[in-house]
Amino acid sequence: MTQLTFLAVHAHPDDEASSTGGLYRLLANQGVRTVLVTCTNGECGDSPTGAKPDADEHDMDEVAAVRKVELDNAVEILGVSRLVRLGYRDSGMMGWPHNANDGSFWGTPVELAARRLADILLEERPQVIVTYNEIGFYGHPDHIQANRITLAALELLDYEPTLYYNAIPDSVFAEMRKRWEEEDEARREEGKTSSALEEVEEEIPEQMSTPDDQISAAIDISAVNSVKFDALAAHASQIADSFWMKMGREAFCETNKTEWFLRVTNPQKIDGLVTDLFAGYR
Ligand SMILES: [Zn+2]
Protein backbone atom coordinates (compact mmCIF):
# COMPACT_ATOMS: atom_id res chain seq x y z
CA MET A 1 0.00 0.00 0.00
CA THR A 2 1.19 3.51 -0.76
CA GLN A 3 2.28 5.54 2.24
CA LEU A 4 -0.29 8.23 2.99
CA THR A 5 1.35 11.58 3.65
CA PHE A 6 -0.19 14.84 4.79
CA LEU A 7 1.52 18.25 4.67
CA ALA A 8 0.34 21.64 5.90
CA VAL A 9 1.96 24.98 5.08
CA HIS A 10 1.59 27.31 8.04
CA ALA A 11 2.76 30.89 8.56
CA HIS A 12 3.79 31.00 12.23
CA PRO A 13 4.49 28.70 15.15
CA ASP A 14 1.01 28.13 16.75
CA ASP A 15 -1.00 28.16 13.47
CA GLU A 16 -0.49 24.40 13.15
CA ALA A 17 -2.24 23.92 16.49
CA SER A 18 -5.06 26.43 16.06
CA SER A 19 -6.29 25.48 12.61
CA THR A 20 -5.07 21.89 12.14
CA GLY A 21 -4.18 20.60 15.62
CA GLY A 22 -6.99 18.07 15.72
CA LEU A 23 -6.33 16.95 12.16
CA TYR A 24 -2.61 16.40 12.80
CA ARG A 25 -3.23 14.26 15.87
CA LEU A 26 -5.98 12.24 14.19
CA LEU A 27 -3.89 11.50 11.10
CA ALA A 28 -0.87 10.54 13.22
CA ASN A 29 -3.09 8.15 15.18
CA GLN A 30 -4.17 6.61 11.86
CA GLY A 31 -0.57 5.98 10.81
CA VAL A 32 -0.50 8.75 8.20
CA ARG A 33 2.91 10.42 7.80
CA THR A 34 2.48 14.08 8.76
CA VAL A 35 4.74 16.93 7.67
CA LEU A 36 4.57 20.52 8.87
CA VAL A 37 6.15 23.43 6.99
CA THR A 38 6.30 26.55 9.15
CA CYS A 39 7.28 29.57 7.06
CA THR A 40 8.37 32.14 9.66
CA ASN A 41 9.98 32.19 13.10
CA GLY A 42 7.18 34.33 14.55
CA GLU A 43 9.42 37.22 15.62
CA CYS A 44 6.45 39.63 15.73
CA GLY A 45 4.65 37.69 18.41
CA ASP A 46 4.38 38.81 22.03
CA SER A 47 7.58 38.65 24.08
CA PRO A 48 7.57 36.25 27.06
CA THR A 49 6.75 39.26 29.27
CA GLY A 50 3.79 40.13 27.06
CA ALA A 51 5.47 43.06 25.29
CA LYS A 52 4.13 43.86 21.80
CA PRO A 53 6.52 44.21 18.81
CA ASP A 54 6.47 48.03 18.94
CA ALA A 55 7.57 48.12 22.60
CA ASP A 56 11.18 48.94 23.51
CA GLU A 57 11.68 45.77 25.53
CA HIS A 58 10.44 43.55 22.67
CA ASP A 59 13.42 41.55 21.37
CA MET A 60 12.67 39.79 18.07
CA ASP A 61 15.43 37.22 18.46
CA GLU A 62 14.35 36.37 21.98
CA VAL A 63 10.75 35.91 20.84
CA ALA A 64 11.88 33.65 17.99
CA ALA A 65 13.96 31.54 20.39
CA VAL A 66 11.04 31.05 22.78
CA ARG A 67 8.66 30.21 19.96
CA LYS A 68 11.13 27.69 18.51
CA VAL A 69 10.96 25.64 21.69
CA GLU A 70 7.18 26.04 21.89
CA LEU A 71 6.78 24.76 18.33
CA ASP A 72 9.03 21.78 19.07
CA ASN A 73 6.80 20.93 22.02
CA ALA A 74 3.56 21.33 20.04
CA VAL A 75 4.92 19.15 17.24
CA GLU A 76 5.76 16.46 19.77
CA ILE A 77 2.23 16.63 21.24
CA LEU A 78 0.62 16.42 17.78
CA GLY A 79 2.83 13.51 16.67
CA VAL A 80 4.10 15.39 13.61
CA SER A 81 6.52 13.14 11.69
CA ARG A 82 8.66 15.93 10.27
CA LEU A 83 8.88 19.67 10.89
CA VAL A 84 10.51 21.93 8.29
CA ARG A 85 11.16 25.56 9.24
CA LEU A 86 11.61 27.79 6.20
CA GLY A 87 13.08 30.35 8.62
CA TYR A 88 11.72 33.58 7.13
CA ARG A 89 11.22 36.55 9.41
CA ASP A 90 7.71 37.31 10.60
CA SER A 91 6.29 40.20 8.51
CA GLY A 92 3.91 41.50 11.20
CA MET A 93 0.39 42.69 10.43
CA MET A 94 -0.43 44.44 7.13
CA GLY A 95 1.13 47.89 6.95
CA TRP A 96 3.64 47.36 9.76
CA PRO A 97 7.23 48.46 9.04
CA HIS A 98 8.21 44.80 9.62
CA ASN A 99 6.64 44.00 6.21
CA ALA A 100 9.82 45.39 4.65
CA ASN A 101 12.37 43.93 7.09
CA ASP A 102 15.34 42.07 5.68
CA GLY A 103 14.40 38.42 5.24
CA SER A 104 10.70 39.02 5.89
CA PHE A 105 8.44 36.37 4.39
CA TRP A 106 6.21 39.05 2.79
CA GLY A 107 9.27 40.62 1.11
CA THR A 108 10.55 37.30 -0.26
CA PRO A 109 9.83 36.71 -3.97
CA VAL A 110 7.09 34.08 -4.26
CA GLU A 111 9.06 32.00 -6.77
CA LEU A 112 12.05 31.66 -4.43
CA ALA A 113 10.05 30.38 -1.47
CA ALA A 114 7.85 28.28 -3.77
CA ARG A 115 10.92 26.50 -5.16
CA ARG A 116 12.00 25.55 -1.63
CA LEU A 117 8.51 24.32 -0.81
CA ALA A 118 8.29 22.38 -4.09
CA ASP A 119 11.52 20.55 -3.22
CA ILE A 120 9.97 19.41 0.06
CA LEU A 121 6.75 18.39 -1.71
CA LEU A 122 8.67 16.39 -4.33
CA GLU A 123 10.57 14.64 -1.57
CA GLU A 124 7.51 13.85 0.59
CA ARG A 125 4.87 13.54 -2.15
CA PRO A 126 1.91 14.30 0.14
CA GLN A 127 -1.45 13.32 -1.32
CA VAL A 128 -3.17 16.02 0.76
CA ILE A 129 -1.99 19.57 1.46
CA VAL A 130 -3.58 22.24 3.65
CA THR A 131 -2.92 25.97 3.76
CA TYR A 132 -4.94 29.23 3.93
CA ASN A 133 -7.11 30.90 1.29
CA GLU A 134 -6.12 33.94 -0.82
CA ILE A 135 -6.82 36.39 2.01
CA GLY A 136 -4.71 34.32 4.36
CA PHE A 137 -7.83 33.42 6.34
CA TYR A 138 -7.77 36.75 8.18
CA GLY A 139 -5.57 39.11 6.17
CA HIS A 140 -2.15 38.51 7.75
CA PRO A 141 0.61 39.04 5.14
CA ASP A 142 2.46 35.87 6.16
CA HIS A 143 -0.72 33.83 5.78
CA ILE A 144 -1.40 35.37 2.36
CA GLN A 145 2.19 34.59 1.36
CA ALA A 146 1.77 30.97 2.55
CA ASN A 147 -1.18 30.70 0.15
CA ARG A 148 0.83 32.22 -2.71
CA ILE A 149 3.90 30.04 -2.33
CA THR A 150 1.76 26.91 -1.99
CA LEU A 151 -0.17 27.63 -5.20
CA ALA A 152 3.10 28.43 -7.00
CA ALA A 153 4.79 25.28 -5.65
CA LEU A 154 1.93 23.10 -6.92
CA GLU A 155 2.76 24.34 -10.44
CA LEU A 156 6.28 22.92 -10.05
CA LEU A 157 5.18 19.37 -9.21
CA ASP A 158 4.98 16.34 -11.46
CA TYR A 159 1.69 15.23 -9.83
CA GLU A 160 -1.47 16.86 -8.52
CA PRO A 161 -2.19 16.62 -4.79
CA THR A 162 -5.55 17.45 -3.21
CA LEU A 163 -5.34 20.97 -1.77
CA TYR A 164 -7.61 22.20 0.99
CA TYR A 165 -7.92 25.60 2.67
CA ASN A 166 -8.85 25.75 6.33
CA ALA A 167 -12.25 27.36 6.86
CA ILE A 168 -14.88 28.39 9.38
CA PRO A 169 -18.55 28.02 8.39
CA ASP A 170 -20.68 31.19 8.61
CA SER A 171 -22.94 29.55 11.21
CA VAL A 172 -20.00 28.75 13.50
CA PHE A 173 -18.58 32.23 13.08
CA ALA A 174 -21.95 33.69 14.06
CA GLU A 175 -21.83 31.58 17.25
CA MET A 176 -18.33 32.88 18.01
CA ARG A 177 -19.47 36.45 17.45
CA LYS A 178 -22.31 35.87 19.90
CA ARG A 179 -19.79 34.73 22.52
CA TRP A 180 -17.64 37.84 21.99
CA GLU A 181 -20.74 39.99 22.37
CA GLU A 182 -21.59 38.21 25.62
CA GLU A 183 -18.06 38.80 26.84
CA ASP A 184 -18.47 42.51 26.01
CA GLU A 185 -21.71 42.58 27.96
CA ALA A 186 -19.90 41.05 30.95
CA ARG A 187 -17.06 43.56 30.58
CA ARG A 188 -19.54 46.45 30.52
CA GLU A 189 -21.15 45.19 33.72
CA GLU A 190 -17.70 45.18 35.32
CA GLY A 191 -17.28 48.78 34.16
CA LYS A 192 -14.58 47.95 31.61
CA THR A 193 -14.45 49.87 28.34
CA SER A 194 -12.41 47.34 26.32
CA SER A 195 -14.32 45.31 23.73
CA ALA A 196 -13.60 41.70 22.73
CA LEU A 197 -15.56 42.23 19.54
CA GLU A 198 -13.55 45.30 18.57
CA GLU A 199 -10.29 43.47 19.33
CA VAL A 200 -11.34 40.67 17.01
CA GLU A 201 -12.59 43.01 14.30
CA GLU A 202 -9.30 44.89 14.36
CA GLU A 203 -7.52 41.62 13.60
CA ILE A 204 -9.96 40.51 10.93
CA PRO A 205 -10.11 43.06 8.14
CA GLU A 206 -12.04 40.87 5.71
CA GLN A 207 -14.75 38.30 5.67
CA MET A 208 -13.29 35.36 7.51
CA SER A 209 -15.98 32.71 7.27
CA THR A 210 -17.37 30.56 4.46
CA PRO A 211 -21.03 29.86 3.55
CA ASP A 212 -21.94 26.56 5.21
CA ASP A 213 -22.95 24.92 1.94
CA GLN A 214 -19.50 25.57 0.45
CA ILE A 215 -17.63 23.67 3.17
CA SER A 216 -16.23 20.49 1.62
CA ALA A 217 -14.68 18.71 4.62
CA ALA A 218 -15.77 18.53 8.24
CA ILE A 219 -13.36 16.54 10.39
CA ASP A 220 -14.63 15.22 13.71
CA ILE A 221 -11.82 15.91 16.17
CA SER A 222 -13.76 15.18 19.35
CA ALA A 223 -11.53 12.16 20.12
CA VAL A 224 -8.41 14.34 20.16
CA ASN A 225 -9.54 17.85 21.07
CA SER A 226 -7.99 17.59 24.51
CA VAL A 227 -4.65 16.97 22.76
CA LYS A 228 -5.36 20.01 20.57
CA PHE A 229 -5.84 22.03 23.75
CA ASP A 230 -2.41 20.83 24.97
CA ALA A 231 -0.79 21.74 21.65
CA LEU A 232 -2.27 25.24 21.85
CA ALA A 233 -1.18 25.54 25.48
CA ALA A 234 2.38 24.64 24.39
CA HIS A 235 2.47 28.08 22.69
CA ALA A 236 2.13 29.74 26.09
CA SER A 237 3.99 32.95 25.18
CA GLN A 238 1.32 33.75 22.56
CA ILE A 239 -1.75 32.07 23.82
CA ALA A 240 -1.84 31.94 27.62
CA ASP A 241 -4.11 35.01 27.75
CA SER A 242 -6.29 34.00 24.83
CA PHE A 243 -9.99 33.45 24.80
CA TRP A 244 -9.48 29.69 24.24
CA MET A 245 -7.10 29.15 27.15
CA LYS A 246 -9.26 31.20 29.52
CA MET A 247 -12.17 28.89 28.70
CA GLY A 248 -10.30 25.98 30.22
CA ARG A 249 -9.95 22.47 28.87
CA GLU A 250 -13.49 21.29 29.52
CA ALA A 251 -15.29 24.17 27.80
CA PHE A 252 -12.71 24.11 24.99
CA CYS A 253 -13.41 20.44 24.31
CA GLU A 254 -17.14 21.08 24.51
CA THR A 255 -16.99 23.78 21.81
CA ASN A 256 -14.14 22.50 19.59
CA LYS A 257 -15.25 19.26 18.02
CA THR A 258 -14.75 19.92 14.31
CA GLU A 259 -12.18 21.35 11.92
CA TRP A 260 -13.49 22.51 8.54
CA PHE A 261 -11.84 22.74 5.13
CA LEU A 262 -12.54 23.88 1.61
CA ARG A 263 -11.41 21.70 -1.31
CA VAL A 264 -9.40 23.60 -3.92
CA THR A 265 -7.90 20.94 -6.20
CA ASN A 266 -9.69 17.65 -6.68
CA PRO A 267 -7.67 15.05 -8.60
CA GLN A 268 -9.66 12.21 -6.96
CA LYS A 269 -12.93 13.72 -8.24
CA ILE A 270 -14.56 13.70 -4.82
CA ASP A 271 -18.16 14.90 -4.60
CA GLY A 272 -19.67 16.90 -1.79
CA LEU A 273 -18.86 16.97 1.91
CA VAL A 274 -16.28 14.50 3.24
CA THR A 275 -15.31 13.58 6.79
CA ASP A 276 -11.79 12.47 5.83
CA LEU A 277 -9.28 14.58 3.89
CA PHE A 278 -7.86 11.35 2.45
CA ALA A 279 -11.20 10.39 0.90
CA GLY A 280 -10.39 8.79 -2.43
CA TYR A 281 -6.90 7.76 -1.29
CA ARG A 282 -7.72 4.99 1.19
ZN1 LIG B 1 -0.21 33.04 11.98
Where do the structural domains in the chain lie, given as residue ranges? 5-169+210-263, 170-208
Contact call for residues 13 and 42 (beta carbons, < 8 A)? yes
Taking the centre of ligand 1 as the mean of its atom positions, its distance from the CA of residue 92, in whole angstroms, is: 9
Taking the centre of ligand 1 as the mean of its atom positions, its distance from the CA of residue 12, in whole angstroms, is: 4
Taking the centre of ligand 1 as the mean of its atom positions, its distance from the CA of residue 90, in whole angstroms, is: 9
The alpha-helical segments, DSSP class H, found in the chain are 15-29, 60-78, 110-124, 136-139, 141-154, 170-189, 196-203, 225-233, 236-239, 243-255
Taking the centre of ligand 1 as the mean of its atom positions, its distance from the CA of residue 275, in whole angstroms, is: 25
Taking the centre of ligand 1 as the mean of its atom positions, its distance from the CA of residue 158, in whole angstroms, is: 29
- Give the total residue count for the chain: 282
CATH class of 5-169+210-263: alpha beta
Taking the centre of ligand 1 as the mean of its atom positions, its distance from the CA of residue 11, in whole angstroms, is: 5
From first CA to last CA, the distance across the chain in angstroms is: 9
Taking the centre of ligand 1 as the mean of its atom positions, its distance from the CA of residue 115, in whole angstroms, is: 21
Taking the centre of ligand 1 as the mean of its atom positions, its distance from the CA of residue 34, in whole angstroms, is: 19
What is the reported pLDDT for 201?
67
Taking the centre of ligand 1 as the mean of its atom positions, its distance from the CA of residue 276, in whole angstroms, is: 24
pTM score, two decimals? Answer: 0.93
pLDDT in tens for each of the 282 residues of the chain? 789 999 999 999 999 999 999 999 999 999 999 999 999 999 999 998 888 888 989 999 999 999 999 999 999 999 999 999 999 999 998 888 888 888 999 999 999 999 999 999 999 999 999 999 998 887 899 999 999 999 999 999 999 999 999 999 999 988 888 887 888 888 888 888 777 777 766 666 557 889 999 999 999 999 999 999 999 999 999 988 887 898 899 999 999 999 999 999 999 999 999 999 999 999
Taking the centre of ligand 1 as the mean of its atom positions, its distance from the CA of residue 190, in whole angstroms, is: 32
List Cβ<8 Å contacts ≥24 apart for 72-75: 73/234, 74/13, 74/14, 74/16, 74/17, 74/21, 74/231, 74/232, 74/234, 74/235, 75/16, 75/36
Contact call for residues 22 and 253 (beta carbons, < 8 A)? no
With b for 16 or more beta-carbon neighbours within 10 A and e for fewer, the 167-192 pattern comes to: bbbbebbeeeeeebeebbeeeeeeee
Contact call for residues 224 and 179 (beta carbons, < 8 A)? no
What residues have their beta carbon closer than 5 A to ion ligand 1?
11-12, 15
